[in-house]
Amino acid sequence: MAYVQKGTLNEREEHGTGVFSISEISSVISSVLDDTRLQDIWVRGEVTNFRPHVSGHRYFSLSERAQNGGAVLHCVMWRNDARRIGGEFREGMDVIAFGSITHYAPQGKYQFVVRELKHTGEGEKHLLVERWKAELAAEGLFSEERKKPLPRFPMKVGVVTSETGAVLQDIRNVIARRYPLEIVVSPTAVQGESAHCEIAAALARIDGYTDVIIIGRGGGSFEDLFPFNHPEVVRAISRCRTPVISAVGHEVDVTLADFAADMRAPTPSAAAELVVQDRVVMRETLFQYAKKLGADLIGKMDRASREIGELRSRIAPGRMERRISERQQDAAVMAERLTRAFSAKIAMQRLILRGIGEKIEGRNPLRLLERGYGIIEKNGRAIKDLKAITEGDLVQVRMKGGRLELLVRSVTHDKDL
């Protein structure tokens, strides 16, 4: 096993640090290379020592010109990234590469793992687009809150594209097939050095004159689509009062115009399909709606007819007379029942009252006078007990036919008999 020393062995043993192993050194190097300044970075250089491998991996170096010291950075691009990037790859190319620095311990070397590789001119434009994207996003031009809904039934469709390209014809064909309506074209160049200025002007020229705008072009390379990444085009889309659909390139192509538009379509033909409804589908939908409304109306009419028939039968003259006669008969029967019940109740009350009267009359002391009895009174009050009378008292006797006034000569009680 090999070791590396820092200072003399005695010095390291004296300080208790021992001797480094190779793996320890590799670990220290790896931790140093984990510095964020060496991760996810762009590097420019010339491709040298290019060695394609049968596995699909690509091994090469990025070198600086001799006047800059001739520094070399060993690189590797793994198979999946190489297959995704594709394209021509040869010795002497001036490129911009994106990736991270790593340490490969088995060979004791660091290397640059490349994930993206572009020609210098194209690479610089990619970096420029990334910077524009960050700036425009910070301005809020890509926010969902800014996006406007598309009109469901537009009357006019605006198209910003080349007058001579296939895009315009594709849009016309789709709209003519699905739902013919007026198309207003605002022509512009769609590639070239000044294309972004023309596109922005074409958008401003048509804004407000149609219900929706399609901005698009056919497919192409990154360079061909570059004008649709320009901030002038993005800001022109954001300023539009009219909803804008971006249909730039093919489905896999994405530009900054797509982020700013109110909706993105994968192709110009797809944009036209988003803009207008299919009249065949609409006709079928309307037919189904009409069918349902008709069925609902017939059902309501049937129910109304039944209700009217029932009302007529209820108010028919003969039936009404019979109903009235039946109700009168019911009322007469009820009145007779009430009369009988009332009479029986009165008779019962009379019997009760008569019995009460007889009881009261039977207890009337004046009835006793008719049977030869008399009532003795003293000072206007009836005498119930002989103890209330004494010798010499003047008493009155009420009898049938009148009163007597008597002077008591003597009083004999039962105990004296």
Q: What pLDDT does 149 receive?
A: 94
H or E, element range at 231: helix 231-239
Q: What residues in the chain have per-residue pLDDT under 50?
A: 1-13, 15, 67
| CATH dotted code for 3-119 | 2.40.50.140
Q: Is 343 left (phi over 0), alpha (psi -120 to 50) or beta?
A: alpha
Place of tokens 């000044």: 194
Tell me if domain 3-119 and domain 139-277 are identical in fold.
no
Inter-residue contact 157 to 210 (CB < 8 Å)? yes
Residue 387 tokens, joined? 């103890």
What type of residue sits at position 129?
Answer: V
Q: What pLDDT does 265 receive?
A: 92
Q: Which tens digit of pLDDT belongs to each residue from 109-133?
A: 888 999 988 777 666 677 788 889 9
Residue 11 tokens, joined? 């010095």
Place of tokens 């596995």: 55
Please name which of 261, 199, 187, 186 lies closest in space to residue 225, comparing C-alpha atoms: 199
d(CA 257, CA 264): 9
| Residue 114: count of CB within 10 angstroms of its CB | 23
Q: Which residues of 131-278 form beta strands (DSSP E)?
A: 156-161, 182-187, 212-217, 244-248, 263-264
3-class DSSP assignment, residue 241: coil
d(CA 167, CA 211): 19
The model's pTM is 0.51
Domain 139-277 belongs in CATH node 3.30.70.640: no
d(CA 388, CA 380): 13
What type of residue sits at position 243?
Answer: P
Contacts 24+ apart (CB under 8 A), 57-62: 57/82, 58/82, 58/89, 62/95, 62/97, 62/112
The crossing angle, in degrees rounded to 10, of helices 268-275 and 166-178 is 30
d(CA 180, CA 191): 29
Q: What pLDDT does 316 receive?
A: 64
- Domain definitions of the chain by residue range: 3-119, 139-277, 367-416
CA 54-56-61 angle, to 5 degrees, is 95
Residue 103 tokens, joined? 């340490």
Q: What pLDDT does 160 receive?
A: 95
